[in-house]
């Protein structure tokens, strides 16, 4: 059975939710056993929507939020530790539903299956935590699967083990397993990932893949329905409809990467729940029939539909032709070598022609319009970055994805709810919301993201499960790795 996320309704909770016992003095206020800590003075964005709580107070005990309200109005037990956050803004940590983690050796700038170890995956989860991301769902993860020929890949179980761990200072991890695709049309970006999905070319193989896949208990079954601009074949309607049917029988959600309007309609009619890009893109336009399919599902009580638009690449390329200022953002240079940022990001963007920049702007506008029409019909927009390939910066690009969502017409407040509470609900993670009983996962910001969504990058501190993340220690470790990698070249 899939775990249930506590919704944490009732944000201004009664004082009775605060533990009555006073804590003893001494020790770290976030780690002392039984300690209650009161954080006071910040503008508090809860993640549930609605206006922020100005001059707020909230309490934490045992790694969870216990109460929240206004400073001076929220009772706290005698002896509670106090942290003054006057002038700061607090918001929940983000949740990324579309990560490709584990393959990338960040310091060396390489990718390989050999890199996909528990240690490297946790390193990536620490980078996410550094940037204020409290949870992630990995897709196309390297995990042992059937080869559909009577054998197995022997790729181990790292994702299945790590999803059961709570690693201090690291984001929570869930897995959507290896995925299913026509051979060669699935995970892209580097040869090490190309053969990770189940290679399916028939209805029978599709159903067999789902049965093997479901045994992993993934968050969802990922399928690719994309011919990669004619370079390969894609899953045919009979195959992907059989996959959706088999998954439905086994009560496992399906999330699709598809491009065309025709495939989007068929997948939506089949009950697919998620899309890891805008469901209709590549020049196709959402029509009334597609909107009608979504509205009919909503009218029948189906509120499970979601998409991670993944518009950050178009948003970024629309700024091409010059060197973007964000290449020098400390949040990026702390987690990736400056030389890689210059070569893979700044240089490529600077070399874009005016025609390429305009094409990117038009793609952002066109796909964004499709996304917003589908959102209005009933598909929730949530956060997903497609991150983890060499040019796709782990963690930092989540913040740019937020900017791309504002660029297509969402308000900063709507984007924050989408990237926190709503994303956490789909990932079945007890994070993404400041509410009594939820994990005390939050970001302390130096500026207000409701005024400018780019202010989510102005991070002062990150707390996970009530513990302050040692960002200085992580930064020092990574900088040492970058220096060592450079000296060996």
pLDDT value for 485: 85
- List the CATH number of the domain containing 51: 2.30.40.10
Kindly state whether residues 151 and 289 are assigned to the same domain: yes
Query: pLDDT confidence of 337, banded at 50, 70, 90?
Result: very high
pLDDT value for 90: 98
Per-residue pLDDT tens over the stretch 189-226: 888 999 999 999 999 999 999 999 999 999 999 999 99
Mean pLDDT, the chain, integer: 92
Query: Which of these ranges, 5-14, 340-349, 367-376, 473-482, has the smallest mean pLDDT?
Result: 5-14
Is residue 34 pLDDT above 70, yes or no? no
Kindly state whether residues 60 and 135 are assigned to the same domain: no
Q: Give the residue-averaged pLDDT of 60-85.
A: 93
- List the CATH number of the domain containing 130: 3.20.20.140
Q: Are 77 and 23 in contact (CB under 8 A)?
A: yes
Q: 341 in a domain, yes or no? A: yes
pLDDT value for 190: 87
Is residue 26 pLDDT above 50, yes or no? no
Kindly state whether residues 215 and 299 are assigned to the same domain: yes
Per-residue pLDDT tens over the stretch 426-435: 999 999 999 9
Q: Give the residue-averaged pLDDT of 100-124.
A: 95
Q: 82 in a domain, yes or no? A: yes
Q: Are 116 and 153 in contact (CB under 8 A)?
A: no
Kindly state whether residues 46 and 71 are assigned to the same domain: yes
Q: Which domain holds residue 358?
A: 94-427
pTM of the predicted structure, to 2 decimals: 0.91
Per-residue pLDDT tens over the stretch 258-315: 999 999 999 999 999 999 999 999 999 999 999 999 999 999 999 999 999 999 999 9
Kindly state whether residues 283 and 168 are assigned to the same domain: yes
Query: pLDDT confidence of 111, banded at 50, 70, 90?
Result: very high
Is residue 31 pLDDT above 80, yes or no? no
Is residue 3 pLDDT above 50, yes or no? no
Coil, helix or strand at residue 418: helix
> Which residue's structure tokens are 């503008």?
43
Per-residue pLDDT tens over the stretch 228-265: 999 999 999 999 999 999 999 999 999 999 999 999 99
Kindly state whether residues 25 and 110 are assigned to the same domain: no
Residue 34 backbone dihedrals phi, psi, to 5 degrees: 80, 5
Residues 6+ apart with CB under 8 A from 375: 381
Share of the chain above pLDDT 90, in %: 87
Is residue 1 pLDDT above 50, yes or no? no
Q: Give the residue-averaged pLDDT of 451-467.
A: 98
Q: 262 in a domain, yes or no? A: yes
pLDDT value for 391: 78
Per-residue pLDDT tens over the stretch 127-136: 999 999 999 9
């Amino acid at each position: 059975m899939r775990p249930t996320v506590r919704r944490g309704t009732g944000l201004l909770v009664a004082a009775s939710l605060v533990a009555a016992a006073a804590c003893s003095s001494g020790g770290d206020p976030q780690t002392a056993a039984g300690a209650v800590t009161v954080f006071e003075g910040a503008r508090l964005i809860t993640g549930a929507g609605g206006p922020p709580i100005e001059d707020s107070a909230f309490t934490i005990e045992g790694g969870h939020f216990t109460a929240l309200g206004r400073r001076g109005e929220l009772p706290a037990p005698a002896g509670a530790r106090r942290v003054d956050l006057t002038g700061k803004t607090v918001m929940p940590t983000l949740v990324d539903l579309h990560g490709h983690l584990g393959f990338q050796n960040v310091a060396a700038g390489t990718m390989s299956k050999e890199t996909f170890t528990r240690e490297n995956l946790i390193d990536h989860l620490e980078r996410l935590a550094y940037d204020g991301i409290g949870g992630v769902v990995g897709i196309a993860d390297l995990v042992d699967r059937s080869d559909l020929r009577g054998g197995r890949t022997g790729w181990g179980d790292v994702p299945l083990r790590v999803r059961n761990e709570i690693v201090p200072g690291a984001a929570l991890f869930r897995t959507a397993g290896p995925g299913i695709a026509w051979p060669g049309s699935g995970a892209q970006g580097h040869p090490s990932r190309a053969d990770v999905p189940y290679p399916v070319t028939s209805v029978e193989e599709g159903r067999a893949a789902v049965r093997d896949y479901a045994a992993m208990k993934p968050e969802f079954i990922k399928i690719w329905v994309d011919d990669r601009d004619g370079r390969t074949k894609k899953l045919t309607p009979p195959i992907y409809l059989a996959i959706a049917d088999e998954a439905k029988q086994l009560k496992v959600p399906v999330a699709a990467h598809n491009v065309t309007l025709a495939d989007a309609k068929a997948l939506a009619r089949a009950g697919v729940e998620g899309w890891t890009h805008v469901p209709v893109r590549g020049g196709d336009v959402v029509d009334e029939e597609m909107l009608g399919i979504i509205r009919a599902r909503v009218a029948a009580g189906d509120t499970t539909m979601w998409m991670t638009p993944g518009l950050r690449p178009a948003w970024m390329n629309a700024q091409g032709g010059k060197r973007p200022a964000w290449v020098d953002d400390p949040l990026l240079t702390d987690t990736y070598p400056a030389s890689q940022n210059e070569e893979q990001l700044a240089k490529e963007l600077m070399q874009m022609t005016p025609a390429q920049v305009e094409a990117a702007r038009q793609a952002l506008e066109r796909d964004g319009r499709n996304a917003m029409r589908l959102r209005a019909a009933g598909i929730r927009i949530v956060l997903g970055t497609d991150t983890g390939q060499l040019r796709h910066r782990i963690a930092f690009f989540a913040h740019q994805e937020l900017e791309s969502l504002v660029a297509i017409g969402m308000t900063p407040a709507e984007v924050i709810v989408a990237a926190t509470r709503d994303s956490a609900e789909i990932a079945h993670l007890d994070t993404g919301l400041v509410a009594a009983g939820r994990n005390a996962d939050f970001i302390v910001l130096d500026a207000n993201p409701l005024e400018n969504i780019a202010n989510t990058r102005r991070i002062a501190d990150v707390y996970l499960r009530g513990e302050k993340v040692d960002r200085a220690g992580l930064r020092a470790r990574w900088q040492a790795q970058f220096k060592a990698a450079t000296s060996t070249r």
